[in-house]
Structure 1
Amino acid sequence: MIETGWAIGYTVGIVVVLVVVALVVPILVLAHRIGRQAGAIDASLQQSVVNTAGLAGLSTTIESADTIVAGLRRGRKRLGG
């Protein structure tokens, strides 16, 4: 009877360990895939920063364009147009 209890205990323990392994392995595989993709995503985002760096001066360009257009309007009014 005692040996049967040990056998049942070991069997249940082994089943529990196998179930945990069956649940953890896919999670670890997904984490590994995400880790590999994270490097590519980070590189892409860094390239986006480089590609959009010129937009920082966009407000200055808009202000300059507004000043030029206002000057052109004043000139047109003075010329009678």
Structure 2
Amino acid sequence: MTLDELSAVTGVSKYRLVRVCTAWFGLSPHQLHLRLRLDRAGEWLRRRTGVAEVAYETGFHDQPHLTRVFAQATG
């Protein structure tokens, strides 16, 4: 979902949406969405789901993309 679509659904301007999201969560909507995807990927990986399948299910382009972003976020 794009920021414009989210703005239309919530009835709030996208600029206000970014400010409110950042104030509540300490993250921009994009950063929050990425964090949620990575959290879900981490849960699935702990259950021994294959990395390629996790990457696909959580919306990453491929396994190397998930691995790179996950490593940057978690160290």
TM-score w.r.t. length of structure 2: 0.30
TM-score w.r.t. length of structure 1: 0.28
Larger Rg: 1
